[in-house]
Copies of this chain bind each other. A is one copy, B any other.
Amino acid sequence: MSKRDLILAAARELFSDKGYERTTMRAIAARADVDPALIHHYFTNKNTLLMAALKPDIDLATHFADIENVDSVGTEFARRLLGYWEDNPDVRTRMTALLRVAMTHDDVAALLRDFQIGALRAALGSVVAADRPEVRLGLVATQIFGIGLMRYILRAPQIRDCTVDQLVMAVGPVIDGYLTGPLANARGRVPS
């Protein structure tokens, strides 16, 4: 791994568990076992480093293509996504870093929104109902992010101690409902 990549990995880890302001360039350098000045050499400033470190990994979106022909699309989706987070520390780190930093940086929040929308559309676009698909995908995102938040960031014991399978079974049908179930209209009524 090149030193440049070591820096990016170290930055992701630190941003992931301390947020932006609490990770210092010096700390990143120390973790990457690299001279602090080298970071400026490659990335000129902290914000550029942040963006480079959090740039979405394109492979990720493709991991969710072609969810069809299963009983429960929601369950299959949740299984793949939560399983992916759980088994792959790098992916999880990237996700928690995005979430943490997005709290205080609007440009990262925008990155997260765009990426999330894109990934959800790629994964679920072919199965979401035609009635206001954006709202449906947005609702799916609330549930997914809620899980990520409680499990990996707030670390609430009730959710942290669940197995992935338990979460998948709980959340899968909910996602199905958001994707294809009835939706309230502008007046807030479910069509009968």
Contact = CB atoms under 8 A, between A and B. Distances in A.
Range of interface residues on A (Cβ < 8 Å):
35 or more
State the number of copies, please: 2
Contacts of A137: 158
Contacts of A185: 166
Query: For the complex, would chain A's binding face be called helix, strand, loop or mixed by DSSP majority?
Result: helix
A70 interface: no
Given A19-B103, A190-B169, A141 B134 contact: no
A180 B144 CA distance: 21
Interface of A: 18-19, 21-22, 99-100, 102-104, 109, 112-113, 116-117, 134-135, 137-139, 141-147, 149-150, 153-159, 162-166, 168-171, 173-174, 177-178, 183-190
20 contacts: A19-B21, A21-B22, A21-B104, A100-B104, A103-B153, A109-B153, A109-B155, A112-B154, A135-B162, A141-B156, A143-B146, A145-B146, A163-B186, A166-B184, A166-B186, A169-B189, A169-B190, A170-B183, A170-B184, A174-B174
